[in-house]
Amino acid sequence: MNRRSFLLLTATSVAATPTELVGAFANAPSQSLVSPTSTGAWYVAMRRCGQINYNERDPLTMDAEAWGDYWASLKVDAVLLNGGGIVAFYPTQVPYHHRSEFLGNRDLFGEMVAAMKRRQIHAVARMDCNLAYEEALKAHPEWFERNQDGSPRPHGESPWLFATCMFSTYFTEQMPAIYREINQHYPVDGFFTNGWPSTGSLRVCHCENCRRVFEKLGGVPPAETDSANPIYRKYYQAYMDRVQEIWRLWDNIAREKSSQCVYVGNLGGGLDTVKDLKQLSQVAAWFNADHQGRSGETPIWSCAQQGRVAYSVMQGRATTNVAGAYSNAQPNWRHVSKAPAELTLWLAQTAASGMVPWFHWLGGSPEDTRWREVGRSFFDWLAANDAHFRNRHTIADVAVLYPQRTVAFYSRPESQRPRHRGGPIDYLQGLYYALLEGRFFFDFVHEGNLDAATLRKYRALLIPNAAYLGDAQCGAIREYVKDGGSLLATFETSRYDEWGDLRPDFQLADVFGARVAGEVIGPHGNSYARMERQHPVLEGFQGTSLLPDAENRVPVRADAVPLVLSVVPAYPAFPPEMVYPRTPRTTEPAAVFREIGKSRVAYFAGDVDRTCWRSGNSDLSQLLRNAINWVRGSDPLVSVQGPGLIEAFAWETEPGYALHLLNYTNPNATHGSIRGTYPIGPQQVRFRIVEGHAVKSVRALRSGSTLKFQQQGPTVSFDVPGIADYEVIALA
């Protein structure tokens, strides 16, 4: 369980909904909130980070010096240490700040801070603002979230704790009092809040504060977080405003002592972010992604995706990701280690995608210590090769739109979900898998950053069903294509505005060369796409005239574009006697491929990306890869040829360039936990560097070997003999 699922657990009785904050916070400016002092700050230069998350009982047994030695052995720049919030681990004087009942005469927090400082490690106070004891509830009923009947919200597993309300003075008075007390008495370098604000669903509260908020918005708390509800729309922005207001308040309090002291909130959650990351990034001097591990059907690459999402808004500013060393799967085991191969690959993805790893254990007196060496060996290696992880920017020729509004609002809530809609990240996940199989070098571009300056560096923009897309974003895409950029888009992209109001046609109909001709059809299996003529997108499909088609499609007309793939409508799949096409041939396009000047545009009317992800169909992946290849064009900036399923990142670094290769060739890539490593064989690399640069050495940093290479003009070619779990090739 990561912190986000923890938050969700605590909200079991809560219909996540909207409210908006009005009053002092409603009109708060939402730009340029990052402290100007953040450049040159210690957390900007931070390379490795640790966290020991101790519990109420730990003051009885915890050895601060031993922990100091362990973290020093990992060569970390900072350690997160539990200060207070729910439980104070020091002798607090703030009323209703519950001291650990096992604290006795100890000042565990103070000892831990001192142990880190003796070892020249920065100390960050890890706080929790989400829950408090009944004593506080009795004294300050206004601090707490309420259900519709006025009852407080006890925690699901620890019902003696109650959820606090973000709109109350608990956040503007009580937490600040605690931060100031800690800042006054301890040489801390920052504050971090567990579980807040998170990127998960919004909570709707019925406390007095929140009722006033809703009154000012002109309504009552809605039962569900549905963007079709006008009150939810207002609430969403008011909620985001409140988060930014609190974040700035706490950052300012942290900096009262020193401009180097920072507040960092808790973000992350992989692809699925309900809160607007672009807005949050505007207040965050430091973005911590709390994406500690995976469970169920979450693919191994979820951590790398987190890195790409974070980079799309932070653009290289301080970003960390928490790796849980304990077994945080489903079910969850807090006090035993995660499989070493899984944990190492999670740390590797963190580093490869440009984030700083934050290694996390829970419990001050562990009985399982197997995780320690996993972190130590990885951090040792990172420290020894530190310069090559100092990135300047990514090297990528393809942009993938991160469709924030669609991810946040499409197909929620479940009770009102049209049948043709799956989870909103399925589209991106299907495209992503094809991008990995095709070994493309790509960046995510957050919807809030869709402009000519951002898109200029990419040859093609890929849009995985950005159904909810604003006019301004559509305008930027249109301009990009007009200026020679290429485009791939799927399904309902631009069919709705940014809140989900249906438009009469795709806003991008002119760009797609396709117009809506009816309501979405599906979900249907056993429907097909017929290949009507030769096209580069259809390469490799010899031996068939039919391809599988998507489960859902928008019927479209594309009269001015030659028909390449036509729809064969679904027909019965059972019983076998009935399995024949009732309409074997139509003129309805399953996809539209067109060239306008230098631009190539591929539009798929079906949800091929989502269907590919859910079915695992290899033809659909091939079709997507072909289409990406076609829109990007030949001669990529970087190419890696060889066996295996890998994810690749290329960076321009301080010493030169780095190529990161993550080996996902594993039976547990898309389920459960990596149990062992399956090395893959040689990879042929061509890497385009800046014109005029001469590479002097190419080294494989994990295997510690020097590679032979050739340079012809800006192209450097070399073979990587093999990859175990992760390899980094440094060109200097």
Residues that bind Zn ion (CB under 5 A): 165, 167, 205, 207, 209-210
What CA–CA distance (Å, rounded) separates 696 from 607? 47
Sheet of strand 528-531: strand arrangement: 442-446, 398-402, 460-463, 486-490, 599-604, 589-596, 565-568, 528-531, 546-548
State how far the alpha carbon of 490 is from the alpha carbons of 606, 631, 684, in Å: 7, 14, 32
Residue 704: CB atoms within 10 Å: 10
Smallest distance from Zn ion to CB 19, Å? 8
Smallest distance from Zn ion to CB 210, Å? 3
Place of tokens 């064969």: 568
172 secondary structure, DSSP code: I
Choose between 162 and 649: whose C-beta lies nearer to Zn ion.
162
Choose between 166 and 637: whose C-beta lies nearer to Zn ion.
166
Q: Could you report how far apart the first and last alpha carbons of the chain are, in Å? A: 41
Choose between 167 and 433: whose C-beta lies nearer to Zn ion.
167
How do beta strands 398-402 and 442-446 pair?
parallel
Choose between 165 and 254: whose C-beta lies nearer to Zn ion.
165
Choose between 209 and 298: whose C-beta lies nearer to Zn ion.
209
Smallest distance from Zn ion to CB 537, Å? 52
Smallest distance from Zn ion to CB 207, Å? 3
Smallest distance from Zn ion to CB 446, Å? 29
Token pair, residue 394, equals 């990514």
Choose between 113 and 163: whose C-beta lies nearer to Zn ion.
163
Choose between 165 and 701: whose C-beta lies nearer to Zn ion.
165
Q: Give which of 505, 553, 559, 560 is closest to 529, Cα–Cα.
A: 553
What CA–CA distance (Å, rounded) separates 53 from 362? 5
Long-range contacts, 218-222 (Cβ 8 Å, 24+): 221/17, 221/18, 221/19, 221/148, 222/17, 222/18
What CA–CA distance (Å, rounded) separates 657 from 659? 7
484 secondary structure, DSSP code: T
Smallest distance from Zn ion to CB 145, Å? 5
Smallest distance from Zn ion to CB 153, Å? 10
Place of tokens 């009469």: 504
What CA–CA distance (Å, rounded) separates 676 from 668? 9
What CA–CA distance (Å, rounded) separates 462 from 443? 10
Q: Do the beta carbons of residue 562 and residue 533 sit within 8 Å?
A: yes
Choose between 7 and 205: whose C-beta lies nearer to Zn ion.
205
Q: Do the beta carbons of residue 329 and residue 343 sit within 8 Å?
A: no
Token pair, residue 709, equals 């290479």
Choose between 207 and 508: whose C-beta lies nearer to Zn ion.
207
Choose between 200 and 464: whose C-beta lies nearer to Zn ion.
200
Q: Give which of 498, 6, 23, 16 is closest to 245, Cα–Cα.
A: 23
Place of tokens 């004087």: 93
Smallest distance from Zn ion to CB 77, Å? 37
Choose between 41 and 243: whose C-beta lies nearer to Zn ion.
243
How do beta strands 190-197 and 262-267 pair?
parallel
Smallest distance from Zn ion to CB 195, Å? 16
Smallest distance from Zn ion to CB 213, Å? 8
Query: Three-class SS of residue 209?
Result: helix
23 secondary structure, DSSP code: G
Is the link from the previous residue into 523 a cis peptide, with omega within 30 of 0?
A: yes
Smallest distance from Zn ion to CB 219, Å? 15
